[in-house]
C-alpha cells in the first residue's frame, strides 16, 4: 500500500512538471482538438445526461464542451466536491450564465455552494449516461491517476448502485498526461476511454 502511494506521488510530480511546461496557448489548442474529437464521438452524441468538470488551469479546458452540451439540448451536471471527504455530487447546471454566478471554491474552480440545496443531483433522478473525467495522468488501458482524494472513484461506486448503472466514462487529457503505465490499487476504477490529441 505504501509502495503504491509512493509510486503514485512520484508520477504525480512528474506529470505536473510536464504539464506546467506546456504554454497556455498550447493547452488551449490541445483542448480544442480534444473537444472536437468529443463532439464527433458516438457515445457523446447519444448521451442525454452528461457530467463535465469545470477545469483547473492544468486540465483540458471545458468551456466549449459546456456550450455544446447546452446547444444540443443535453442535460448538464457539474461536480460539487466536499473537500473534507472524498464525497462528490453531480449537480444540474441550467445554462452557461449560471457558471459565472457560482462561487469560487477550493482549487480556484467554481462549484455550487455547500448550502445550495435546490439543484437536482444526478443520482437522485435519472442517473448519468456519460461522465467526462479530469485527472492528472492516464495510460492507454484506461487506468487513471487522480489527485489522491478519490472523488471520482467514490462517485462511480455510487453510480453502480443506481438503476441506470455505471455511466460511460471518457477522460479528457493533454498529450503530456499520457503515461506508459499508471500504478493502480483495488479501489481504482478503470475508465472506458481517454481522449487526447494523437497522431491521426
Quote the domain boundaries for residue 27: 1-195
Q: Is 30 annotated as a binding residue?
A: no
Any known ligand binding at 144?
yes
Residue 121 lies in a domain: yes
Is 8 annotated as contributing to ligand binding?
yes
Residue 11 among known ligand-binding residues:
yes
64 falls within a domain: yes
Q: Render each residue's pLDDT in the chain as its tens digit; 200 residues.
A: 788 889 888 899 999 999 999 999 999 999 999 999 999 999 999 999 999 999 999 999 999 999 999 999 999 999 999 878 889 999 999 999 998 899 988 777 888 988 888 899 999 999 999 999 999 999 999 999 988 888 998 999 999 999 988 999 999 999 999 999 998 887 788 999 999 998 65
Residue 94 annotated as lining a ligand binding site: no
Give 146-179 pLDDT, tens digit per residue.
888 889 989 999 999 999 889 999 999 999 999 9
- How far apart, in whole angstroms, are the C-alpha atoms of residue 112 and residue 44? 24
- Is 10 assigned a ligand-binding role in the annotation? yes
Number of domains in the chain: 1
Q: Is 185 annotated as a binding residue?
A: no
The answer to whether residue 153 sits within a structural domain is: yes
β-bridge pairing 49-51 and 193-195: unpaired
Residue 59 assigned ligand-binding role: yes
Q: Is residue 60 part of a domain?
A: yes
Q: Is 197 marked as binding a ligand?
A: no
**Cα separations (Å) of 116 from 21, 103, 110?**
37, 11, 13
CATH value at residue 3: 3.40.50.10420
Query: Counting Cβ atoms within 10 Å, is residue 118 exposed (0-12), middle (13-18) or buried (19+)?
Result: exposed
Q: Is residue 189, in this structure, part of any structural domain at all?
A: yes
Residue 200 covered by a domain: no
CA quadruple 131, 167, 82, 126: dihedral, nearest 10: 110
Amino acid at each position: 500500500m505504501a509502495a503504491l502511494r509512493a509510486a503514485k506521488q512520484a508520477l504525480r510530480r512528474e506529470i505536473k512538471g510536464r504539464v506546467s511546461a506546456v504554454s497556455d496557448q498550447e493547452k488551449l489548442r490541445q483542448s480544442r482538438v480534444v473537444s472536437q474529437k468529443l463532439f464527433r464521438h458516438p457515445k457523446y452524441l447519444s448521451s442525454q445526461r452528461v457530467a463535465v468538470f469545470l477545469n483547473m488551469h492544468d486540465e483540458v479546458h471545458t468551456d466549449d464542451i459546456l456550450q455544446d452540451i447546452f446547444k444540443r439540448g443535453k442535460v448538464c451536471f457539474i461536480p460539487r466536491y466536499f473537500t473534507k471527504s472524498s464525497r462528490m455530487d453531480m449537480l444540474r447546471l441550467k445554462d452557461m450564465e449560471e457558471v459565472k454566478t457560482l462561487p469560487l471554491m477550493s482549487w480556484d474552480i467554481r462549484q455550487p455552494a455547500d448550502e445550495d440545496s435546490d439543484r437536482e443531483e444526478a443520482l437522485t433522478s435519472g442517473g448519468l449516461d456519460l461522465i467526462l473525467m479530469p485527472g492528472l495522468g492516464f495510460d492507454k488501458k484506461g487506468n487513471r491517476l487522480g489527485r489522491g482524494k478519490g472523488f471520482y472513484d467514490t462517485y462511480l461506486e455510487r453510480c453502480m448502485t443506481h438503476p441506470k448503472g455505471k455511466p460511460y466514462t471518457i477522460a479528457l487529457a493533454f498529450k503530456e498526461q499520457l503515461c506508459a503505465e499508471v500504478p493502480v490499487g483495488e479501489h481504482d476504477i478503470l475508465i472506458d476511454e481517454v481522449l487526447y490529441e494523437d497522431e491521426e
